[in-house]
Amino acid sequence: MSNNETMSLTLKIWRQKNQNTKGFFEEHKMDDVNPHMSFLEMLDLLNEHLMQDQKEPIEFDHDCREGICGSCNLVINGVAHGPEMRTAACQLHMRKFNDGDTITIEPWRAEAFPMIKDLVVDRSAFDRIMSAGGYVSVGTGNAPDANAIPIPKQQADQAMDYAVCIGCGACVASCPNSSASLFTGAKISQFANLPQGEPERKRRVVAMVEQMEKEGFGDCSNYAECEAVCPVGISISAIAEMRREYMKALI
């Protein structure tokens, strides 16, 4: 498809005024979608058309549009973040779809993520889980020498793999139980693999797991859907590490 060609699409988009009102799918037809647009740019274009017609634009969440912030929480054709693996919705391009396609767009659906409006949900439960983890005891004076705290490379790499979690919530949206175990496990394990996280290690895992349960997230049943849709490819090994850390802390 050349740069001058456009796509015609039918969009079925979830509209809901707030969590106390009933939602519904609203259909929109577009015939001017450039295949090189990102998915969010396509929604921007749709909102421009709606405002030109004196209609209310569709609310959707976004910030960096670079796959870093985790705000672009959309379920696209039944898949969190859409059909391309290890890609946030903001990094998904319309060339991944075909001319004439019908695309269904929904918000994250989980009791712990209350509806705000249309495609926007409240993900502050993740913030409270993070807050429950507390602080890390570390000196804040002069920077230590690079080799002052020796860490095996494999262990450092594992911690970094977990630390890249962007907290988007795709793991919750894709899990049949709406479990936040992958997110919480990643946040716990990134510190459990580093000596800097050792002083508060036991208190941290207990507090974060208990906060996760308070927020109303479901239990993990090892479906592994969370790993499949994670835009940064975090392994479910994070969940196994969280469970080990939690049991050791209780014992």
What's the confidence (pLDDT) of residue 35?
Answer: 96
Considering the domain boundaries, does residue 23 fall inside one? yes
User: Average per-residue pLDDT in the chain?
Assistant: 94
128 lies in the same domain as 232: yes
Q: Which residues contact 16 (CB under 8 A, 6 or more apart)?
A: 22, 23, 24, 107, 115, 117, 118
Q: How confident is the model over 197-245, as pLDDT tens digits?
A: 889 999 999 999 999 999 999 999 999 999 999 999 999 999 999 999 9
65 lies in the same domain as 99: yes
What's the confidence (pLDDT) of residue 45?
Answer: 98
Element housing 24 (H / E) = strand 24-33
Q: How confident is the model over 169-181, as pLDDT tens digits?
A: 999 999 999 999 9
What's the confidence (pLDDT) of residue 3?
Answer: 52
Element housing 10 (H / E) = strand 7-15
94 lies in the same domain as 128: no
99 burial via Cβ count (<10 Å: 0-12, 13-18, 19+): middle
State percent of the chain over pLDDT 70: 96
160 lies in the same domain as 214: yes
Residue 138 pLDDT > 90, yes or no? no
Element housing 207 (H / E) = helix 201-214
156 lies in the same domain as 219: yes
Considering the domain boundaries, does residue 181 fall inside one? yes
Considering the domain boundaries, does residue 117 fall inside one? no
Domain region containing 54: 7-106
Confidence of residue 149 (pLDDT cuts 50, 70, 90): confident
101 lies in the same domain as 156: no
Q: Which two tokens stand for residue 29?
A: 């037809």
67 lies in the same domain as 174: no
What's the confidence (pLDDT) of residue 150?
Answer: 83
Q: What is the CATH number of the domain that holds 155?
A: 1.10.1060.10
Q: How confident is the model over 51-96, as pLDDT tens digits?
A: 999 999 999 999 999 999 999 999 999 999 999 999 999 999 999 9
Residue 135 pLDDT > 90, yes or no? no
181 lies in the same domain as 238: yes
Considering the domain boundaries, does residue 191 fall inside one? yes
Of the candidate ranges 101-105, 168-172, 192-196, 204-208, the one whose mean pLDDT is the lowest: 192-196
73 lies in the same domain as 192: no
Q: Which amino acid type is present at position 210? A: E
Which of 133, 203, 196 has the alpha carbon at shortest distance from 159? 196
71 lies in the same domain as 127: no
Q: Looking at the 3D structure of the chain, how many domains does it have? A: 2
99 lies in the same domain as 154: no
99 lies in the same domain as 199: no
Considering the domain boundaries, does residue 111 fall inside one? no
